[in-house]
């Protein structure tokens, strides 16, 4: 039986130790048997207390670098790519939540389907504000959610941008090979989390409820009714509800939630 290829999970972080603790716990819970974590940290806080309990579980490469004015998020992601040793690489942002099956599902889409990369078209979203904290929803990103990318080793690198670097990276991957885009049945594998310190503001997350003309119509009707829960994207499947429950439990255990 062929051994499962190593997946390098690449985290770029700066002074978000508590959020990173959740992401590392999510990695430890993955069902894929062969993973490593590469952390690129250009902040001031030491992550070793968070990483140390997991060093016996999987390899961890912790790269502390000095912040440089000209080196933006894309440049930092490239440092992680350069340090990766896996046959596959996964973007593993410090502030998102990942279902235990995420890597297994996306890796199988690549390995069994002969693809060069895989992304989720749909994810769940949790917006930690008083108005939205109790209203998780399903959202799509057109051709695929860039932050969900898992890919084979590649010479493609991120542009040195502070925003949208992952979207440009995904576009470059798609131009060079085949990207498997997984549908709504896999939305529970990934929860995008707004916490107030994100690269994008809350409005960016809210726009996902009206991204298409049909979604915008549903949003308008729901607002007129005074019941946003009637929007179809807020009507979650059993798998999505279970994922949200696990996310909330993990987040509360680490005191990460402000409004819920």
- The pLDDT tens digits of the residues spanning 143-180 come to 899 999 999 999 999 999 999 999 999 999 999 999 99
**Is residue 1 assigned to a domain?**
no
Q: According to the model, what pLDDT value does residue 46 have?
A: 97
**Is residue 2 assigned to a domain?**
no
Question: Could you list the residue range(s) of the whole structural domain that residue 233 is in?
Answer: 7-253
Q: According to the model, what pLDDT value does residue 60 have?
A: 99
**Is residue 258 assigned to a domain?**
no
Q: According to the model, what pLDDT value does residue 76 have?
A: 98
**Is residue 260 assigned to a domain?**
no
**Is residue 259 assigned to a domain?**
no
**Is residue 189 assigned to a domain?**
yes
Tokens at 197, concatenated: 């310190």
Q: According to the model, what pLDDT value does residue 223 have?
A: 86
Residues of the chain with pLDDT under 70: 1, 196-202, 260
> What whole-number distance in Å separates Cα of residue 248 and Cα of residue 260?
8
Q: According to the model, what pLDDT value does residue 144 have?
A: 94
Q: According to the model, what pLDDT value does residue 53 have?
A: 98
Q: According to the model, what pLDDT value does residue 1 have?
A: 54
Q: According to the model, what pLDDT value does residue 219 have?
A: 84
- Give the angle subtended at the CA of 113 by the CAs of 36 and 173, to the nearest 5°: 65
- Domain count for the chain: 1
> What whole-number distance in Å separates Cα of residue 75 and Cα of residue 93?
15
Tokens at 130, concatenated: 């008083």
Q: According to the model, what pLDDT value does residue 195 have?
A: 83
Q: According to the model, what pLDDT value does residue 197 have?
A: 67
Burial class from Cβ neighbours inside 10 Å (0-12, 13-18, 19+) for residue 139 reads: buried
**Is residue 161 assigned to a domain?**
yes
Q: According to the model, what pLDDT value does residue 253 have?
A: 97
**Is residue 135 assigned to a domain?**
yes
Q: According to the model, what pLDDT value does residue 202 have?
A: 67
Report the CATH number that the domain containing residue 103 is assigned in CATH.
Answer: 3.90.550.10
Q: According to the model, what pLDDT value does residue 13 have?
A: 98
Tokens at 173, concatenated: 């991957």
């Amino acid at each position: 039986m062929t051994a499962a290829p190593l997946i390098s999970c690449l985290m770029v972080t700066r002074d978000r130790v508590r959020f990173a603790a959740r992401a590392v716990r999510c990695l430890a819970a993955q069902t894929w048997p062969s993973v490593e974590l590469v952390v690129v940290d250009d902040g001031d806080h030491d992550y070793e207390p968070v990483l140390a309990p997991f060093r016996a579980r999987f390899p961890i490469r912790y790269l502390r670098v000095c912040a440089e004015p000209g080196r933006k998020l894309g440049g930092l992601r490239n440092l992680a790519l350069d340090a990766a040793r896996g046959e596959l690489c996964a973007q593993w942002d410090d502030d998102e939540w990942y279902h235990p099956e995420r890597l297994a599902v996306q890796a199988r889409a690549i390995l069994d389907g002969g693809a060069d990369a895989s992304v989720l078209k749909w994810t769940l979203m949790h917006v930690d504000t008083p108005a939205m904290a109790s209203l998780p929803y399903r959202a799509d990103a057109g051709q695929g959610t860039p932050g969900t990318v898992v890919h084979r080793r590649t010479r493609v690198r991120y542009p040195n941008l502070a925003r949208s670097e992952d979207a440009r990276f995904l576009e470059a991957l798609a131009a060079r090979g085949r990207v498997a885009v997984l549908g709504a049945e896999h939305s529970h594998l990934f929860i995008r989390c707004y916490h107030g310190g994100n690269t994008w503001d809350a409005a960016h997350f809210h726009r996902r409820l009206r991204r298409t003309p049909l979604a915008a119509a549903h949003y308008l009707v729901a607002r007129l009714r005074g019941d946003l829960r009637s929007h179809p994207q807020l009507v979650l499947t059993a798998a999505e509800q279970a994922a949200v429950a696990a996310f909330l439990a993990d987040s509360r255990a680490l005191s990460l939630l402000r409004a819920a």
